[in-house]
Chains A and B, each alone.
Chain A
Amino acid sequence: MEIKAEEYTIQYIAETGEINCQGSLLLSGTEEYAPILNLMLEAAEEQAEHLTLKVTELEFLNSSGINTMTKFVINVRNRKSLALTVVGLDGTPWQVRLLKNLQRLMPSLQLQMQ
Protein backbone atom coordinates (compact mmCIF):
# COMPACT_ATOMS: atom_id res chain seq x y z
CA MET A 1 0.00 0.00 0.00
CA GLU A 2 1.28 3.40 -0.87
CA ILE A 3 0.17 7.03 -0.91
CA LYS A 4 2.31 9.07 -3.24
CA ALA A 5 2.11 12.81 -3.79
CA GLU A 6 4.50 15.42 -5.12
CA GLU A 7 5.85 16.31 -1.68
CA TYR A 8 5.62 12.99 0.19
CA THR A 9 5.30 9.22 0.04
CA ILE A 10 3.80 6.97 2.71
CA GLN A 11 4.48 3.32 2.11
CA TYR A 12 3.35 0.23 3.96
CA ILE A 13 5.34 -2.93 3.33
CA ALA A 14 3.30 -5.85 4.61
CA GLU A 15 6.15 -8.40 4.41
CA THR A 16 8.36 -6.45 6.81
CA GLY A 17 5.56 -4.83 8.81
CA GLU A 18 7.01 -1.41 8.12
CA ILE A 19 5.45 2.00 7.44
CA ASN A 20 7.91 4.38 5.82
CA CYS A 21 7.24 8.14 5.71
CA GLN A 22 9.23 10.23 3.25
CA GLY A 23 9.26 13.89 2.23
CA SER A 24 7.40 16.86 3.70
CA LEU A 25 3.96 16.58 5.29
CA LEU A 26 2.25 19.97 5.28
CA LEU A 27 -1.39 19.02 4.77
CA SER A 28 -4.13 21.23 6.10
CA GLY A 29 -5.90 19.25 8.80
CA THR A 30 -7.67 16.08 9.90
CA GLU A 31 -9.55 15.66 6.64
CA GLU A 32 -6.49 15.89 4.42
CA TYR A 33 -4.53 13.58 6.71
CA ALA A 34 -7.33 10.99 6.83
CA PRO A 35 -6.02 8.78 3.98
CA ILE A 36 -2.58 8.64 5.64
CA LEU A 37 -4.03 7.80 9.07
CA ASN A 38 -6.24 5.16 7.44
CA LEU A 39 -3.25 3.53 5.74
CA MET A 40 -1.42 3.41 9.07
CA LEU A 41 -4.43 1.99 10.90
CA GLU A 42 -4.93 -0.66 8.21
CA ALA A 43 -1.31 -1.66 8.69
CA ALA A 44 -1.93 -1.95 12.46
CA GLU A 45 -4.99 -4.06 11.72
CA GLU A 46 -3.02 -6.40 9.46
CA GLN A 47 0.02 -6.96 11.66
CA ALA A 48 -0.60 -9.24 14.62
CA GLU A 49 2.53 -8.74 16.67
CA HIS A 50 4.83 -6.01 15.54
CA LEU A 51 4.83 -2.85 13.46
CA THR A 52 7.61 -0.39 12.62
CA LEU A 53 7.06 3.28 11.82
CA LYS A 54 10.03 4.86 10.09
CA VAL A 55 10.39 8.65 9.94
CA THR A 56 14.12 8.86 9.12
CA GLU A 57 13.35 10.10 5.59
CA LEU A 58 10.65 12.51 6.74
CA GLU A 59 11.91 16.06 6.22
CA PHE A 60 9.10 18.07 7.75
CA LEU A 61 5.90 17.52 9.72
CA ASN A 62 3.40 20.25 10.64
CA SER A 63 1.24 20.18 13.77
CA SER A 64 -1.66 18.50 11.94
CA GLY A 65 0.87 15.81 11.00
CA ILE A 66 1.97 15.49 14.64
CA ASN A 67 -1.72 15.11 15.48
CA THR A 68 -1.98 12.27 12.93
CA MET A 69 1.07 10.46 14.36
CA THR A 70 -0.21 10.79 17.94
CA LYS A 71 -3.66 9.49 16.97
CA PHE A 72 -2.01 6.48 15.35
CA VAL A 73 0.17 5.74 18.39
CA ILE A 74 -2.75 6.09 20.81
CA ASN A 75 -4.78 3.71 18.63
CA VAL A 76 -1.96 1.11 18.67
CA ARG A 77 -1.51 1.57 22.44
CA ASN A 78 -5.20 0.92 23.00
CA ARG A 79 -5.03 -2.34 21.04
CA LYS A 80 -2.66 -3.67 23.72
CA SER A 81 -1.54 -6.57 21.52
CA LEU A 82 0.70 -4.85 18.99
CA ALA A 83 4.32 -3.87 19.66
CA LEU A 84 5.41 -0.69 17.96
CA THR A 85 8.89 0.54 17.05
CA VAL A 86 9.48 4.06 15.76
CA VAL A 87 12.71 4.77 13.91
CA GLY A 88 14.16 8.30 13.68
CA LEU A 89 17.47 10.08 13.26
CA ASP A 90 19.48 10.85 16.37
CA GLY A 91 21.04 13.93 14.76
CA THR A 92 17.69 15.47 13.81
CA PRO A 93 16.34 17.25 16.93
CA TRP A 94 12.71 17.51 15.80
CA GLN A 95 12.57 13.76 15.10
CA VAL A 96 14.09 13.00 18.51
CA ARG A 97 11.49 15.28 20.10
CA LEU A 98 8.61 13.71 18.17
CA LEU A 99 9.69 10.19 19.14
CA LYS A 100 10.00 11.14 22.83
CA ASN A 101 6.51 12.67 22.75
CA LEU A 102 5.11 9.51 21.15
CA GLN A 103 6.79 7.42 23.83
CA ARG A 104 5.11 9.52 26.54
CA LEU A 105 1.79 8.50 25.01
CA MET A 106 2.79 4.83 24.76
CA PRO A 107 5.49 3.94 27.29
CA SER A 108 6.05 0.48 25.77
CA LEU A 109 6.97 2.09 22.44
CA GLN A 110 10.45 1.12 21.26
CA LEU A 111 12.55 4.01 20.04
CA GLN A 112 15.28 3.36 17.53
CA MET A 113 17.59 6.30 16.92
CA GLN A 114 19.91 5.93 13.96
Chain B
Amino acid sequence: MNQVVNSETFGDFVDVMPEDVEYLIIGFSANSIPLKQRWRNNGLSADFIADYLQTFFVGLEQNQNSHAVPIPTKSKNAAKYIANELLENAMKFSDDAVRYQTRIAFHLYEDKLVFHVTNAIESDNVDKFRNFIKRILTAEDPHELYIQQMELNASGEGDGGSGLGFLSMVCDYGAQLGWQFKTLESSVVLVTTMVSLTV
Protein backbone atom coordinates (compact mmCIF):
# COMPACT_ATOMS: atom_id res chain seq x y z
CA MET B 1 0.00 0.00 0.00
CA ASN B 2 2.76 2.44 0.94
CA GLN B 3 4.81 1.97 -2.21
CA VAL B 4 7.24 4.68 -3.21
CA VAL B 5 5.78 6.52 -6.20
CA ASN B 6 8.50 9.12 -6.59
CA SER B 7 12.08 9.46 -5.43
CA GLU B 8 14.43 12.39 -5.88
CA THR B 9 17.96 12.91 -4.59
CA PHE B 10 20.11 16.02 -4.12
CA GLY B 11 23.79 16.45 -3.35
CA ASP B 12 26.00 13.62 -2.07
CA PHE B 13 23.44 10.98 -1.27
CA VAL B 14 23.96 7.22 -0.94
CA ASP B 15 20.87 5.28 0.04
CA VAL B 16 22.07 1.93 1.31
CA MET B 17 25.14 1.82 3.48
CA PRO B 18 26.96 -1.50 3.96
CA GLU B 19 26.48 -2.79 7.48
CA ASP B 20 29.83 -4.48 7.99
CA VAL B 21 31.09 -1.41 9.83
CA GLU B 22 30.25 0.09 13.21
CA TYR B 23 26.74 1.46 13.10
CA LEU B 24 23.98 2.53 15.41
CA ILE B 25 20.33 3.30 14.68
CA ILE B 26 17.93 5.03 17.06
CA GLY B 27 14.20 5.25 16.33
CA PHE B 28 11.68 7.68 17.82
CA SER B 29 8.06 6.64 17.60
CA ALA B 30 5.58 9.25 16.51
CA ASN B 31 3.54 9.44 19.67
CA SER B 32 1.56 12.02 21.55
CA ILE B 33 4.37 13.46 23.69
CA PRO B 34 4.47 17.19 22.92
CA LEU B 35 7.44 18.49 21.00
CA LYS B 36 8.65 20.59 23.89
CA GLN B 37 8.91 17.62 26.21
CA ARG B 38 10.66 15.60 23.54
CA TRP B 39 13.12 18.40 22.72
CA ARG B 40 15.45 17.49 25.58
CA ASN B 41 15.83 14.02 24.06
CA ASN B 42 17.62 15.50 21.04
CA GLY B 43 20.50 16.65 23.21
CA LEU B 44 20.53 13.39 25.19
CA SER B 45 20.57 11.24 22.03
CA ALA B 46 23.24 13.44 20.45
CA ASP B 47 25.33 13.17 23.62
CA PHE B 48 24.96 9.40 23.62
CA ILE B 49 26.00 9.11 19.96
CA ALA B 50 29.00 11.39 20.52
CA ASP B 51 30.12 9.48 23.63
CA TYR B 52 29.65 6.17 21.83
CA LEU B 53 31.82 7.33 18.93
CA GLN B 54 34.60 8.58 21.19
CA THR B 55 35.47 4.94 21.98
CA PHE B 56 36.51 4.44 18.37
CA PHE B 57 38.41 7.70 18.14
CA VAL B 58 40.53 7.29 21.27
CA GLY B 59 44.18 6.85 20.45
CA LEU B 60 43.71 7.96 16.85
CA GLU B 61 45.65 10.92 15.66
CA GLN B 62 43.66 14.15 15.99
CA ASN B 63 43.39 16.50 13.05
CA GLN B 64 45.66 19.48 13.28
CA ASN B 65 44.14 22.05 15.52
CA SER B 66 44.81 24.83 13.06
CA HIS B 67 42.35 27.72 12.95
CA ALA B 68 41.96 27.26 9.21
CA VAL B 69 40.66 23.70 9.29
CA PRO B 70 37.08 22.90 10.19
CA ILE B 71 36.20 21.48 13.57
CA PRO B 72 37.77 17.98 13.72
CA THR B 73 35.34 15.07 13.29
CA LYS B 74 37.02 13.28 16.18
CA SER B 75 36.19 16.05 18.62
CA LYS B 76 33.15 15.12 20.68
CA ASN B 77 31.55 18.40 19.66
CA ALA B 78 31.39 17.44 15.97
CA ALA B 79 29.28 14.29 16.41
CA LYS B 80 27.11 15.94 19.04
CA TYR B 81 26.52 19.06 16.94
CA ILE B 82 25.61 17.19 13.75
CA ALA B 83 23.39 14.60 15.50
CA ASN B 84 21.62 17.29 17.52
CA GLU B 85 20.97 19.55 14.52
CA LEU B 86 19.61 16.63 12.48
CA LEU B 87 17.29 15.56 15.29
CA GLU B 88 16.16 19.15 15.95
CA ASN B 89 15.27 19.53 12.26
CA ALA B 90 13.46 16.20 12.19
CA MET B 91 11.39 17.19 15.25
CA LYS B 92 10.71 20.71 13.98
CA PHE B 93 9.62 19.75 10.49
CA SER B 94 8.09 16.31 11.10
CA ASP B 95 4.52 15.79 10.07
CA ASP B 96 2.88 14.84 13.38
CA ALA B 97 -0.29 13.82 11.57
CA VAL B 98 1.62 10.98 9.95
CA ARG B 99 2.56 8.24 12.38
CA TYR B 100 5.94 7.69 10.88
CA GLN B 101 9.00 6.91 12.97
CA THR B 102 11.90 9.37 12.94
CA ARG B 103 15.15 7.46 12.59
CA ILE B 104 18.76 8.51 13.05
CA ALA B 105 21.65 6.24 12.04
CA PHE B 106 25.38 6.62 11.86
CA HIS B 107 27.92 4.44 10.07
CA LEU B 108 31.59 4.72 10.92
CA TYR B 109 34.14 3.91 8.21
CA GLU B 110 37.89 4.12 8.35
CA ASP B 111 37.88 7.47 6.59
CA LYS B 112 34.42 8.86 7.20
CA LEU B 113 31.48 9.16 9.57
CA VAL B 114 28.05 9.17 7.93
CA PHE B 115 24.71 10.18 9.46
CA HIS B 116 21.26 9.46 7.99
CA VAL B 117 18.09 10.93 9.45
CA THR B 118 14.65 10.05 8.06
CA ASN B 119 11.33 11.62 8.91
CA ALA B 120 7.97 12.41 7.35
CA ILE B 121 7.79 16.05 6.34
CA GLU B 122 4.69 18.25 6.18
CA SER B 123 3.71 18.76 2.55
CA ASP B 124 3.61 22.55 3.09
CA ASN B 125 7.31 22.50 3.96
CA VAL B 126 8.53 20.37 1.05
CA ASP B 127 9.02 23.12 -1.55
CA LYS B 128 10.56 25.53 0.94
CA PHE B 129 13.03 22.85 2.07
CA ARG B 130 13.86 21.86 -1.51
CA ASN B 131 14.58 25.47 -2.43
CA PHE B 132 16.81 25.90 0.59
CA ILE B 133 18.72 22.72 -0.35
CA LYS B 134 19.24 24.02 -3.88
CA ARG B 135 20.56 27.31 -2.51
CA ILE B 136 23.15 25.48 -0.41
CA LEU B 137 24.17 23.07 -3.17
CA THR B 138 24.51 25.72 -5.87
CA ALA B 139 26.25 28.34 -3.71
CA GLU B 140 29.59 29.34 -5.19
CA ASP B 141 30.92 30.09 -1.75
CA PRO B 142 28.98 28.47 1.13
CA HIS B 143 30.89 30.66 3.63
CA GLU B 144 29.55 33.75 1.93
CA LEU B 145 26.02 32.31 2.05
CA TYR B 146 26.52 31.48 5.76
CA ILE B 147 27.44 35.10 6.54
CA GLN B 148 24.60 36.42 4.33
CA GLN B 149 22.12 34.21 6.16
CA MET B 150 23.36 35.58 9.52
CA GLU B 151 22.85 39.15 8.28
CA LEU B 152 19.41 38.25 6.91
CA ASN B 153 18.32 36.74 10.23
CA ALA B 154 19.58 39.77 12.16
CA SER B 155 17.65 42.12 9.86
CA GLY B 156 14.47 40.28 10.83
CA GLU B 157 13.88 39.12 7.27
CA GLY B 158 14.61 35.47 7.98
CA ASP B 159 11.66 33.16 7.42
CA GLY B 160 11.37 31.57 10.85
CA GLY B 161 14.07 28.90 10.95
CA SER B 162 17.57 30.33 11.19
CA GLY B 163 18.83 28.29 8.21
CA LEU B 164 22.24 28.19 9.87
CA GLY B 165 22.29 24.50 10.84
CA PHE B 166 23.19 22.96 7.47
CA LEU B 167 25.43 25.89 6.53
CA SER B 168 27.41 25.53 9.75
CA MET B 169 27.80 21.79 9.07
CA VAL B 170 29.37 22.63 5.69
CA CYS B 171 31.40 25.68 6.72
CA ASP B 172 32.45 24.84 10.29
CA TYR B 173 32.66 21.05 10.11
CA GLY B 174 33.57 20.47 6.44
CA ALA B 175 30.51 18.23 6.01
CA GLN B 176 29.11 16.95 2.72
CA LEU B 177 25.34 16.94 2.51
CA GLY B 178 22.81 14.92 0.55
CA TRP B 179 19.05 14.44 0.60
CA GLN B 180 16.45 12.01 -0.65
CA PHE B 181 12.76 12.82 -0.93
CA LYS B 182 10.42 9.84 -1.29
CA THR B 183 6.73 10.28 -1.99
CA LEU B 184 4.63 7.32 -0.90
CA GLU B 185 1.38 6.16 -2.48
CA SER B 186 -0.44 7.65 0.50
CA SER B 187 1.15 11.01 -0.57
CA VAL B 188 3.26 11.07 2.61
CA VAL B 189 6.69 12.58 1.87
CA LEU B 190 9.70 11.05 3.61
CA VAL B 191 12.94 12.98 3.64
CA THR B 192 16.32 11.49 4.46
CA THR B 193 19.22 13.81 5.13
CA MET B 194 22.72 12.40 4.82
CA VAL B 195 25.75 14.10 6.38
CA SER B 196 29.29 12.81 5.74
CA LEU B 197 32.32 13.92 7.70
CA THR B 198 35.90 13.03 6.88
CA VAL B 199 37.55 11.28 9.82
- A residues neighboring B (CB under 8 Å): 24, 26, 28-30, 60, 62-64, 66-67, 70-71, 74-75, 91-94, 96-97, 100-101, 104-105
| Closest B residue, CB atoms, query A99 | B67
B150 touches A70 (CB 8 A): yes
What is the interface of chain A mostly: helix, strand, loop, or mixed?
helix
B77 touches A62 (CB 8 A): no
A28 touches B39 (CB 8 A): yes
A105 touches B151 (CB 8 A): yes
Task: From A24, A71, A96, give the contact of B43 (CB < 8 A).
Answer: A24
**Smallest beta-carbon distance B28→chain A, Å:** 16
A91 touches B65 (CB 8 A): yes
A64 touches B162 (CB 8 A): yes
16 other A-B residue contacts (CB within 8 Å) besides A60-B81, A64-B162, A93-B72: A28-B35, A28-B36, A28-B39, A30-B160, A62-B165, A63-B85, A63-B165, A64-B88, A70-B153, A70-B164, A74-B150, A74-B151, A93-B71, A101-B146, A101-B150, A105-B147
Give how many A-B residue pairs fall within 8 Å (CB-CB).
76
Contacts of B180 in A (CB 8 A): none
Contacts of A96 in B (CB 8 A): 67
- B residues neighboring A (CB under 8 Å): 35-36, 39-40, 42-43, 65, 67, 70-72, 75, 77, 80-81, 84-85, 88, 92, 146-147, 150-151, 153-154, 160-162, 164-165, 168, 172
19 sample A-B contacts, Cβ–Cβ < 8 Å, listed by A number? A26-B84, A28-B35, A28-B88, A28-B92, A60-B80, A64-B162, A64-B164, A66-B164, A70-B150, A71-B154, A74-B151, A91-B65, A92-B77, A93-B65, A93-B72, A94-B77, A94-B172, A97-B70, A104-B147
B85 touches A71 (CB 8 A): no
B172 touches A97 (CB 8 A): yes
Task: From A67, A74, A101, A105, give the contact of B162 (CB < 8 A).
Answer: A67
A105 touches B77 (CB 8 A): no
A63 touches B168 (CB 8 A): yes
| Closest B residue, CB atoms, query A33 | B162
Complex alpha-carbon distance, A88 and B151, angstroms: 22
A100 touches B75 (CB 8 A): no
B88 touches A105 (CB 8 A): no
